[in-house]
Amino acid sequence: MPSPVATAGDSHWTDLHQDAIVLALLLECADDFVAGGVLCDKLDVPRAELLKRIDSLRARGYVIHTRGGLGYRLVEIPDQLGDAQIAPLLASGELGRKIHYFEEVESTNDEAHRLAEAGALHGEVVVADFQTRGRGRRGRSWVAPRGKALTFSVVLRPAIAPARAPEITIAAAVAAAEAAREMGAGSARIKWPNDVECKGRKIAGLLTELRAEPDRVRHAVLGVGVNVSLQMHDFPEELRPVATSLLLESGERQPRPLVCARLLEHIEEWLSLHETEGFGPVADRWRELSSTLGRRVRITGADPIEGDAVDLAEDGALLVRTGRGALVRVLAGDVEHCTLL
């Protein structure tokens, strides 16, 4: 059997993979230099190839300082969004396999649906600097200033029945909360069903949309919006009491490509766990991270409900015990937190 012939695509993937290894090592030692010999050993390449990888990263906007006898140190990660900036930071397998970047788009979710209907694979991502018609739950608009927020959508092709689609949102909310905590928002918790908040202030939101038939999901699009480096004056006045950002919570300015990469890694981790072990482990972690359970809540909508949020149902519904003792399943609506139980 003849040996496979290497293609230009194979070479490009290998270069990206090696760039990612170099970046991972430099990020681990962000405050120190990493010896060239250590990088060569990890990559299993000669020094000349390492220099190519350093030059490749520098060409993408990564600032890497060199000091004779000490090696290399990563000083700055570019804040531009796009495949060239995000891909080398990714450790995920399928999510982010292809990144479609737009300087401006009406909606990343709409664009992701268009790509999915044209055959986009599971894990392809649409990311934009600015959305002119971004949306959140229940048809609300999602407004994020240029350069200070992260908005992206992921094409998913889950092998689940349409009725189980809310589980995707629950898993993604767990992933987003854990990523936010890892990046310095230590108080990040989940407000049912799909908001990530810090002490009552929203830092991120998620929106899952389906294209489905009665018995199967053709594809799903998971939209994610994160307030990355907004200062309080960047928010509209009416949102200042209820909004926050990674910068405000952590005190550190974090590059959006790194935030995007970390989110995609966590989302892939939790979706993979959901696929292999079912909804149980996801629901358990959601309960641990919930800011809704154990509180008096008011659910607005067609049929307003007020009661105690007591648990998450097996299908992702919120279970609320009303004043008359009835246990009500809430599938949709806006949750207003009242008092702790």
pLDDT category at 304 given cuts 50, 70, 90 is confident
Residues 279-295 have pLDDT tens digits of: 999 999 999 999 999 99
- Which DSSP helix (H) or strand (E) runs through 61? none
- With cut-offs at 50, 70 and 90, classify the pLDDT of residue 341: low
Statement: residue 7 has pLDDT above 50: no
CA distances 130 to 123, 124, 209, 223, 238, Å, are 21, 19, 20, 14, 21
Least confident range from 55-59, 140-144, 215-219: namely 140-144
Confidence of residue 125 (pLDDT cuts 50, 70, 90): very high
Does residue 274 register a pLDDT over 50? yes
Q: Which domains does the chain have, with CATH numbers?
A: 8-76 (1.10.10.10), 83-289 (3.30.930.10), 295-340 (2.30.30.100)
Torsional class of 199: left (φ above 0), alpha (ψ -120 to 50), beta (otherwise): left
Structure tokens at 211: 């294209």
Tokens for 61? 């906007």
User: What does the mean pLDDT of the chain come to?
Assistant: 88
Smallest CA-to-CA distance from 151 within 180, 127, 123 is with 127
Q: What are the residues facing 74 on neighbouring strands?
A: 64
- pLDDT of 4: 36
* pLDDT value at residue 323: 82
Which one is predicted more confidently, 112 or 138?
112
**Rg (Cα) of the chain, in Å, rounded?**
22
How many percent of the chain have pLDDT more than 70? 91
pLDDT beyond 80 at 328: yes
Q: How far apart are CA 204 and CA 196, in angstroms?
A: 5
